[in-house]
Amino acid sequence: MATKSQRLTKRMVDQLAPRERPFIFFDSDVKGFGCRVMPSGVKSFLIEYRPGAGGRGVAKRRLTLGRYGAMTVEQARQAALTALAHVRLGVDPQCDKIARRASPTIAELIDVFDREHVAVKLKVGTAVGYRIALAKLRAAHGGVKAPQLSRSQVATMHAHLGANPIAANRFVAIVSKLFSWAIDRGLLPETHANPAARIEHFKERSRERFLKPDELARLGEALRLAETEGLPYAVDESGPNAKHAAKLENRRVMVDPFSIAAIRLLILTGARLREILNARWSDVDAARGTLFLPDSKTGAKPIFLNTAAFDVLNDLPRLVDNPHLIAGAKPGLPRTDLKKPWAAVTRAAGLEGLRIHDLRHSFASVGAGASMGLPIIGKLLGHTQAATTQRYAHLDADPLRRAADAIGETISAAMDGKGVVRG
């Protein structure tokens, strides 16, 4: 039941007394905007409108905007103006509200995304990174309806992760992928704005480290020591079992040949860690000088084996019960990681903090410094995009240095009266 209209104000709404039946008091300024009063005394703001082209032939619909108390009169008036503006543009806010209620929550969307995309289409390592980021989103906003997640909320999470700029930027990229996928799958409307779009990323500092010639020498010496005499290890002399420790000159530990070979292959080929650890003897093509991987981070790819890399392979024992180059402790399986041997080797070489992935960067830096050209280096590393290799451009200085020397010699000779500079 509706009553006469008058401009709604706080005083007016406070004075609306409940009746035996619900009634609506409409605002005189905004057509369709009113306050509904229930017999219980509960008061709610709403709008009445005719969807689509309107006209008396179209049935009216009502949209509840909010309850009085939680929403002020002016907030309700602004919400009414916004909703009615959408109606004039052809949008039915009541249908949108129903659609939002039927939409999945963030947690539900993540579950489907993990099951249908992450688990079946991503590499194992990539999937781990996705799940870490999505777990953060679930913890913060898992109960929120997916269409209601705002750009502000994603930006706030991005800012809170700012201590690690790379991880923060990766988080935004993964959230963006989640929503793009959901829109493509029809789980969200095509008109839905991606809440991770247009969020300014943090500036990332390059983490590449390139081994210098003297550092390569120290690494090589540590590897030789690890497989011959063993690497020295420290003992806590103040510990209760220190008296039972071996004599100082005997405190050495050997590193298994598979770990040593893996480290050597990484630096000699520029391959990624998992590419070497997962490689099988059947992947080795001695005739073409390659280690052809049927799968990698970028798909099937060849790893080019130089003479030094072949020497490493020739020295490796081939186990009957294990098809992998770098055999693990369990029959038939490769070694899972190189954390312990790598820590021991880098400590002995005085290279603490050096990452295994830095061996790949060092391989590329040697090639760039020798002016082999970025396209060639990119192919050796298995890059699918030239922009990825561009990070090594500053190391490719020899051609520029030779050009600068030639120009300088010509100018200097001309100034000394020994030659003429031709324009």
Residues 57 and 112 in one domain: no
Residues 31 and 148 in one domain: no
What pairing do the DSSP bridges indicate for beta strands 2-3 and 23-26?
A: parallel
Domain count, the chain: 3
Residues 78 and 171 in one domain: no
Instruction: Say yes or no to pLDDT of 384 above 70.
Output: no
CA 109/CA 373 separation, integer angstroms: 45
pTM: 0.56
Q: What is the pLDDT of residues 313-325, one digit of tens each?
A: 999 999 999 999 9
CATH of the domain at 298: 1.10.443.10
Q: How many CB atoms lie within 10 A of CB 329?
A: 10
Higher local confidence (pLDDT), 117 or 370: 117
H helix runs in 370-415, sequence order: 374-381, 386-389, 398-415
Percent of all residues in the chain with a pLDDT value above 90, rounded to a whole number: 52
CATH of the domain at 36: 3.30.160.390
CA 400/CA 65 separation, integer angstroms: 68
Instruction: Tell me which of 104-118, 130-144, 158-172, 383-397 is least confident.
Output: 383-397
> Considering the domain boundaries, does residue 412 fall inside one?
no
Of the candidates 60, 76, 101, which is a domain's last residue? 101
Q: What is the pLDDT of residues 69-84, one digit of tens each?
A: 999 999 999 999 988 8
pLDDT recorded at residue 369: 66
Residues 82 and 119 in one domain: no
Domain ranges, residue 15: 2-101
Residues 67 and 121 in one domain: no
Extended strands (E) in 247-343: 252-253, 284-285, 290-293, 301-304
Instruction: Tell me which of 112-121, 367-376, 380-389 is least confident.
Output: 380-389
Residues 241 and 385 in one domain: yes
Residues 269 and 390 in one domain: yes
Burial class (CB within 10 angstroms; exposed 0-12, middle 13-18, buried 19+) of 409: exposed
Residues 283 and 247 in one domain: yes
Instruction: Tell me which of 264-278, 286-300, 407-421 is least confident.
Output: 407-421
The closest of 104, 106, 81 to 93, measured between CA atoms, is 81
Cα 205 → chain centroid = 15
CA 212/CA 398 separation, integer angstroms: 17
